[in-house]
């Protein structure tokens, strides 16, 4: 098996709930694999559990069942101390570039932090900051600035630079472009694809936006109420969906063409009418 990440029958419920009534299960047995250099798009609506799955992989949420194997190591219930070296290989880009960068730190500090945490010498880390900014096409003078001096798209570039600083094998991207403007969104996606081509990093790309998924994913997994309802190559799932929910999801997304959108609307009405 050459998979980089293998998730098998992952279950998770958040702590809480009543004395005899446990809290609802957020992940109900999810299984997926990500190969090296591959993007797996994880699509779903709010509350489907897609973000929770990403957080479980990152060690920010504790699974209640199943297993996760990353690079040959079982990371299902790895204690935080043992997890630390894993940061070399497993990174994250969050949705909101406004809260994912510490407002009190300069960009240089934000970018050198993961390097220093992994034992890189502080001077060496500062030197690498320039390279990282260059990678994400930000000017070198960005290093001495604070996050608030940047637009949403630029901040997201900083977040991406932080994620690639350690040359990880997998980056969990949780809705990284959904807070951005249309033109910015297209550029950030280009950047992510370019980084993948040059470094061979894998992405677990979590999003609700089907057009984004088409653009960046090799394979797609569709999540609905804590379960994966359909998984497959991107062309197959988005052009020829087997699952009823996937069909509904695809038809609900409006297309940017008045005439084609009219057809899609009709198709959706028929599907809903047929479903009763």
Q: Applying CB under 8 A, does 142 fall inside the site for other proteins? A: yes
Q: How far is the CB of 125 from other proteins (least distance, A)?
A: 12
- The gap from C-alpha 126 to its chain's centroid, in whole angstroms, comes to 27
| Per-position x/- string for 87-106, each x denoting binding to other proteins as judged by CB under 8 A, each - no binding | xx-xxx-xxx-xxxxxxxx-
Closest CA to 179 of 121, 260, 272, 101: 101
Q: Please, which residue, 10 or 133, has the CB nearer to other proteins?
A: 133
Q: Which is nearer to other proteins, 30 or 136 (CB)?
A: 136
With contacts defined by CB under 8 A, name the span among 16-24, 66-74, 123-131, 159-167 that binds other proteins.
159-167
Closest C-alpha among 153, 145, 149 to residue 93: 153
Secondary structure letter of residue 255 according to DSSP: P
- The residue range among 18-26, 67-75, 110-118, 123-131 that interacts with other proteins, by the rule CB under 8 A, is 110-118
Site for other proteins in 39-78 (CB under 8 A): 39, 45-46, 58-60
- 207: β partners: 43
**# residues near other proteins by CB under 8 A:** 101
Q: Which residue has the tokens 């497993």?
A: 90
* Site for other proteins, residues 216 to 245, rule: CB under 8 A: 216-219, 234-235, 238-239
CB atoms within 10 A of CB 75: 21
Q: Using CB under 8 A, which of 200, 263, 266, 267 touches other proteins?
A: 200
Q: Does 111 bind other proteins (CB under 8 A)?
A: no
Please list the residues that pair with 69 across neighbouring strands.
6, 74
Cβ 89 vs Cβ 168: under 8 Å: yes
Residue from the set 31, 189, 232, 244 that interacts with other proteins by CB under 8 A: 189
CA distances from 199 to 54, 202, 219 (A): 21, 9, 19
Closest distance of CB 72 from other proteins, Å: 14
By C-alpha distance, which of 246, 255, 256, 262 is closest to 45?
Answer: 246
Using CB under 8 A, which residues numbered 6 to 25 contact other proteins? none
């Amino acid at each position: 098996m050459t998979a980089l990440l293998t998730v098998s029958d992952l279950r998770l419920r958040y702590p809480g709930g009543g004395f005899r009534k446990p809290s609802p299960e957020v992940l109900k047995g999810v299984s997926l694999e990500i190969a090296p250099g591959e993007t797996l798009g994880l699509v779903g609506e709010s509350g489907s559990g897609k973000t929770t799955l990403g957080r479980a992989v990152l060690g920010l949420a504790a699974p209640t069942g199943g297993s996760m194997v990353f690079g040959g190591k079982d990371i299902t219930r790895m204690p935080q101390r043992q997890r630390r070296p894993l940061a070399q290989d497993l990174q994250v880009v969050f949705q909101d570039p406004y809260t994912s960068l510490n407002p009190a730190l300069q960009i240089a500090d934000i970018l050198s932090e993961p390097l220093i945490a992994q034992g890189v010498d502080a001077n060496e880390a500062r030197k690498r900051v320039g390279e990282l900014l260059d990678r994400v096409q930000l000017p070198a003078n960005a290093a001495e600035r604070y996050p608030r001096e940047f637009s949403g798209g630029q901040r997201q570039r900083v977040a991406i630079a932080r994620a690639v600083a350690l040359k990880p094998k997998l980056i969990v991207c949780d809705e990284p472009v959904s807070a951005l403007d249309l033109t910015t969104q297209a550029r950030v996606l280009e950047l992510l694809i370019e980084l993948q081509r040059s470094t061979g990093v894998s992405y677990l790309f979590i999003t609700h936006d089907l057009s984004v998924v088409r653009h960046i994913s090799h394979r797609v997994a569709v999540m609905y109420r804590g379960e994966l309802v359909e998984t497959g190559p991107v062309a197959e799932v988005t052009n020829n969906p087997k699952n009823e929910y996937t069909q509904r999801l695809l038809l609900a997304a409006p297309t940017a063409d008045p005439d084609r959108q009219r057809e899609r609307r009709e198709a959706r009405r028929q599907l809903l009418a047929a479903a009763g």
